[in-house]
Homo-oligomer: A and B are copies of this chain.
């Protein structure tokens, strides 16, 4: 039930997909998560419930599908002039978005789905953002840690804390960035792009 691949791209099928996604987003704004049901979504989207059941399987898959769209970054990381500044600003904003009620819910939706493809894609978005910062750094002639190191030392702690405990403060996020950047300074490995692409 990928609902993304092997799907007729044109006409009605795409219209239904858009309509259902929009309905989900609209309903999630006004209603409590537990009150959003497939029949409700279907009514809002002007579609019969069985269409949704057949295409997405169940509510969780649909919510995951919608969530992963919303988690896709809509802009390139802000250019502050330095790699450290770029990463710091990006990480703070990322932490804030993800720890907000909406961000938390979307992560929950993505992780709750049986199909783990969405989670994987989600991780790829983040990696791409960091890669953009990294590329800019090397273009400037700055050193930058390996992408994986940033994922491990900045992204992972932020997300772990949001999921399992309390959202990290801006100060802590800055500390994480500091540690990651320091690590790079000690280790002479300015290799720019050896990472795996995604999505």
Q: Which of A112, A119, A123, A156: most chain B CB closer than 10 A?
A: A156
A49 within 8 A of B: no
Contacting residues, chain B, for A34 (C-beta < 8 A): 114
- Contact of A112 (CB < 8 Å), options: B108, B123, B157: B108
> Is the CB–CB distance between A119 and B152 below 8 Å?
no
- Contact of A157 (CB < 8 Å), options: B111, B119, B152, B163: B152
Contacting residues, chain B, for A153 (C-beta < 8 A): 152-153, 157
Contacting residues, chain B, for A114 (C-beta < 8 A): 33-34
Chain A interface residues toward B at CB < 8 A: 33-34, 60, 108, 111-112, 114, 119-120, 122-123, 151-153, 155-157, 159-161, 163-165, 176, 179, 183
